[in-house]
Amino acid sequence: MKTRFALLMILALVAVMFSGCEKEKEDPSVTLGAQANATVPGFYSVSLDKTYTMSQAAASPGVIDILCFYEAEGGNNISLASPGSGIKEIFTGDDRPDTWSIKNTTFFFQTALTASQFEAVQDGDALIETSFDADNGRKKAKDVQVGQVWAFKTQDGTYGLLLATAVTQGTDGTVTFKLRTK
């Protein structure tokens, strides 16, 4: 009898622990490394939600929408762009984006949205598309800073918003962002 009671008590305790520890839905983020970062991939496919090293990206250039790079001289600092942005002399080697046969172009527009406003947006919301200003969209999101919200449109017509949550400057730097798409 004591064994059954103890077993019932343990089961009840475990049930309470699991119900009290319900895991909150994580808001996934993407981290991209700049051109000299040897540990963090610097290329991203929006449609596949996957990061790639430069050699992996060169093998599948048609899926790459966004890349990270650093350039202090032009005021770009840590920036986001796409293979079709015409970046030269930043990446080196045979797999550099300016040599790819397919160079998707993504356009970026820095919005006036706050981080709190971004957090209220869900994938598929109309605000994602209406935040993109095609007349003022550029091929680079220059000097990305924490808290900035950038709207973008990929070559295949996917609209998105990204919120920069962490930035480390330098050729081996990184940018981390949260993403919403429509």
User: What is the distance, to the nearest Å, from the Cα of residue 19 to the centroid of all Cα atoms in its chain?
Assistant: 32
Write down the pLDDT at residue 93.
Answer: 96
Write down the pLDDT at residue 2.
Answer: 53
Mean pLDDT per 10-residue section of the chain, whose length is 182 residues: 45 41 65 98 98 98 98 92 95 97 98 98 97 98 98 98 98 98 96
Write down the pLDDT at residue 19.
Answer: 42
Do β-strands 140-141 and 149-153 pair in parallel, antiparallel, or remain unpaired? unpaired
Overall size of the chain counted in residues = 182
Strand ranges in 20-148 using DSSP code E only, listed in sequence order: 29-33, 43-45, 50-52, 66-71, 77-81, 107-110, 140-141
pLDDT single digits (tens) 52-84: 999 999 999 999 999 999 999 888 999 999 999
Q: Do the Cβ atoms of 50 and 66 come closer than 8 Å?
A: no
This prediction has a pTM of: 0.85
